[in-house]
A and B are shown apart, each in its own frame.
Chain A
Amino acid sequence: MDSPLHQFEVKVLMPLHMAGFDISITNSAVYMGLAVFMTLLLFVAGTAKQSLVPGRLQCLVEMSYEFVANMLKENVGAEGKKYFPFVASVFFFILFGNLIGMIPYSFTFTSQLILTFGLASLVFVIVTVIGFIRHGVKFFKLFMPEGAPILMAPILIPIELISYLSRPVSLSVRLFANMMAGHTMLKVFAMFTVLLGMYGVSTVLLNSVLIGFEVLVAFLQAYVFSILTCLYLSDAIHMH
Chain B
Amino acid sequence: MPKKSQNNLTFKGTAMKVSADMLAAIMVGAGLGVAFDKHFDTYPWALIIGFIFGSAAGLLNVYRSLCKMGYGLGSKKTKEKDTNG
Contact = CB atoms under 8 A, between A and B. Distances in A.
Interface in B1-49: 9, 13, 16-17, 20-21, 23-25, 27-29, 32
Given A173-B23, A177-B20, A220-B13, A166 B28 contact: yes
Interface residues of B, number: 20
B53 A169 contact: no
Interface string A154-177: 000011101101110110011001
B16 A166 contact: no
A102 to B, nearest CB: 18
B26 to A, nearest CB: 8
Interface of B: 9, 13, 16-17, 20-21, 23-25, 27-29, 32, 53-54, 56-58, 60-61
A-side interface mostly: helix
A216 B10 CA distance: 12
B79 to A, nearest CB: 25
Range, interface on chain A: 10 to 19
A177 B16 contact: yes
Interface string A175-188: 00110000000000
Contacts of B17: 174, 224
Which of B25, B54, B60: most chain A CB closer than 10 A? B25
B27 A166 contact: yes
Contacts of B54: 162, 166
Nearest to A164: B57
Contacts of A158: 53, 57
Given A160-B60, A224-B17, 6 more contacts: A162-B54, A166-B29, A166-B57, A170-B23, A177-B16, A177-B20
